[in-house]
Structure formats: structure tokens, C-alpha cells
Amino acid sequence: MSYKDTLLQPIKVGPRVAPNRFFIQAMECNMEDETGNPSEQTTERYCELARGGAGMITLEAITVTRESRARDNQLAIMPQNEKPLTKFVERVHEANPDTLFVFQLTHSGEISNPNFSRRVTPNPLPGYGGDLLTEDDVDRIMDSYVTAAKIAYNAGADGIDLKLCHGYLGSQMIRPHNNRDWKYGGSWENRTRFPYELMERIRKEIPDKNFLIGSKVSAWEGFPGGFGTEGPGSPIMDLTEPIKLIQGLEERGASYIVQSAGSPSITVSLTQVDKNIPYYAYMHQYWAKEFKKAVKPETVIIGSNFSPFRNGKNGLCAVTEEESNLLNYGAWCLENDVCDMIALGRQSFADPYLPKKLAEGKEDEIKYCMLCDKCLELLIQQSKVGCVVHEKWAHEELVKTRKEKGFLKQKHT
């Protein structure tokens, strides 16, 4: 089969069908209005992604409470946001009724921005901190997640992604570093109470199986006591818990898992592989393959970090450009049981129309991500995010940001 045929094959996700193997990653754009509702610019961005023909799109991290924001202008999902979110989803579905559109629910916990949010933590990491979460706090936060899932359902979304990656609250709860002796920490059973009970409660509240439940999981956070390590104090990778976690999520109704890694405020190049180390992306494909081996064939595993492969001009000199370009290598991963779908993050900023261009035989018109990571710079600086190489407004936003806030020295979110 040609790589085009492989990538454009439909796939079942639970009882639903994604029309092809392209999955658009959650990508925060920090461009909402002051109440956390989607702005016109947000709406247009997601309509463009839908018109671009991806099989499945994830909405960027949407916060379940206002006080748990990492970004000043972050999307929010509370009862007052339901109406605007409903109109927003209608517009995205109108743009392309075949694309599945899921919401990534989050709470930033310890990486909530203290300038406009309340930092809370199950167990502080050195240099972070915040108020220690009580069991009552967590019970309330979980109620907010369940409410948010119902709002997503009422708004017409096709599902939710429970964010258990990148150092946000979901990861903070499950990592071995959460070794406090409390209902939500210490033992494996206690650390997984948060995601597992959430999955169960969401499925019970929304019995409609057409509403998909999934999760994005960091396989290894890459610091002592992070998720995917041997235990508190050890940085050594051990996939025992990540594998157990995704199997537990699957048992509770997850029909898809997005594989990721790292915790960008600490290990940013693990999450978003850098152009100087493109081969780090191969670790992601290793984790995706380990995930795939661990779940039932019908559970969809979505692999990440395909943006670094670009048009083959990626510095991976032991392979030809043709073999190592995003399309060819992505199809190879699908054919070799690495994953079932290919996730596009930074690449989706560079060209939302990649899937459509491939389908129409216009591959030479695809605009590739240069891995300049200026989108990340914009995000860290709390500016509106876009592709500074291919979008004029985003380039202007970068110039304005640097004038006002200076050059960014460190790339950590």
C-alpha cells in the first residue's frame, strides 16, 4: 500500500469512525476572551483545521476552573461557557462534519500561573510549590471535571481527553512523587483514584457510547519521581506504571490514548522534540509501540512527535530524506504496529491543510514546520500563538512580544 493510502485509511475509534489517520494535537493558543470563551480567531483556527481534513482534532487544554489557568487567556469550561461552546462546536462541525472533535480537559495544579490563578499541589516539587491540596479540594476539582465533561457533551463535542500528561494536575496526581499519605497519594491505588474515578464517573454521567473518552499520557516525565520512573527519588525509566495506567483507563472505557512524554516546565525537549535532536522523536515511537502492545487491538494508540520529521530535511542523516519524511515515516509507523494514528502538533500550526493536500495529490504544496519553536516562545510569553513562519499575524505578534517583554532566554513553559 502507498503511504498515501495508509495515512488516508479510516479508523474506528470506539463506535465512531475517523476518516483518516491524522490526529491534531491539543495546542494552546492563548487567544480567548476574558471569560474563557472561544474568540472568533479561535473558532476560525479550529474551522481551518476541520476544513484541512484531519480525522480527529483535539481542542487545546480547556480549564475546568478559572483559578487553575496556566495561560491568561485560556479556554474555560464551566456552566457559563456552555452556550458559546455549543456555537463554537457547531461551526467546527459545519466546516467538516466527518472530523471527530474532542475536548482536552485540564487543571494546571502546581503549574497554575500565580499571577492570575491559585497554585495547588498534591506534593510540591522543588521550585514550584503552592497550597497543599486537601482531599476535599480534590473532590471539588473532580466534580468540576465531571461538570465539564457534561458541558462538552451538551455542546456537541465528540468526546473528551482527560489530560494526564505534561506536568499538569493529572500528571501530578499519578506520579510517584505524590507520596503523601492521603486518599489521593502514596499507593498505586490511591494515586490512580483521581483518573480512574473520573473515567468511571464521566462514563456513568454520559452513558452515550458515541461520546468518546480518551487520555493523553506522558510515558516518562524524565525527572526523579516523575511518572514512568521507578519511584520517588529515582529518574530511571520504568514503564510498568504507564502500561498499568493505560490498561486501567481502557478497562474504564477509554477508546483512545495519546502517547506523549515529559513535563515541559522541566523537561521541555522531551515533550516537544527539538530540531537539534530530532532522533529523540524515536523514543516517542518506542513508547507508542509499548503502549500499543499493552492494549486491546481496538483501542486506538496515537503516536506523537511527528513534526520533527518534516519534509525529510530533518538532520537524520543515516536515512534518506524520502524515507524519513513525515508522510513516509508516519505511514511506516502505522504499518509496523507502532501506533494507529499520527498526531500533529507544531505541524498543525504550519499547515492545517496537510491531510487535504495529501488526499488531493498536492503534497508539494504542504508547508512544513521548521521546528523554530517560536510558537512555544509565544505561549510562554502569554501571547497569542500561531506559526511565525507561515502566518503574518503570528510573526507580528512575536515582534510585538519581543519588543514588550524581551527575548526569551529559557524555553520552559
Q: Residue 276, Cβ neighbours under 10 Å: how many?
A: 9
Q: How far is the CB of 104 from ligand FMN (least distance, A)?
A: 6
Q: How far apart are CA 214 and CA 211, in angstroms?
A: 10
Q: How far is the CB of 127 from ligand FMN (least distance, A)?
A: 21
Residue 375 is a binding residue for ligand FMN (CB under 6 A)? yes
Residue 158 is a binding residue for ligand FMN (CB under 6 A)? no
Cβ neighbors of 385 (< 8 A, separation 6 or more) are 27, 28, 29, 30, 31, 349, 375, 378, 379, 394
Residue 344 is a binding residue for ligand FMN (CB under 6 A)? yes
Residue 305 is a binding residue for ligand FMN (CB under 6 A)? yes
- C-alpha distance across the termini of the chain, in Å: 41
Residue with cell 514503564: 239
* Site map 247..286 versus ligand FMN, x via CB under 6 A: -------------x----------xxx-------------
**CA dist list (Å): 362 to 313, 329, 353, 367, 370:** 19, 18, 10, 11, 19
- Report the SS3 class of residue 325: coil
**Helix ranges, 234-350 (H):** 240-251, 268-271, 281-294, 321-324, 326-335, 346-350
Q: How far is the CB of 411 from ligand FMN (least distance, A)?
A: 10
Q: In the set 6, 20, 25, 96, which binds ligand FMN (CB under 6 A)?
A: 25
CB 259 within 8 A of CB 219: yes
Residue 287 is a binding residue for ligand FMN (CB under 6 A)? no
Residue 345 is a binding residue for ligand FMN (CB under 6 A)? yes
Q: How far is the CB of 132 from ligand FMN (least distance, A)?
A: 25
Site for ligand FMN in 159-218 (CB under 6 A): 163, 165-166, 216
Residue 304 is a binding residue for ligand FMN (CB under 6 A)? yes
Please report, as ranges, the residues that interact with ligand FMN according to CB under 6 A: 25-28, 60-61, 104, 163, 165-166, 216, 260, 271-273, 304-308, 344-347, 375-376, 379, 385
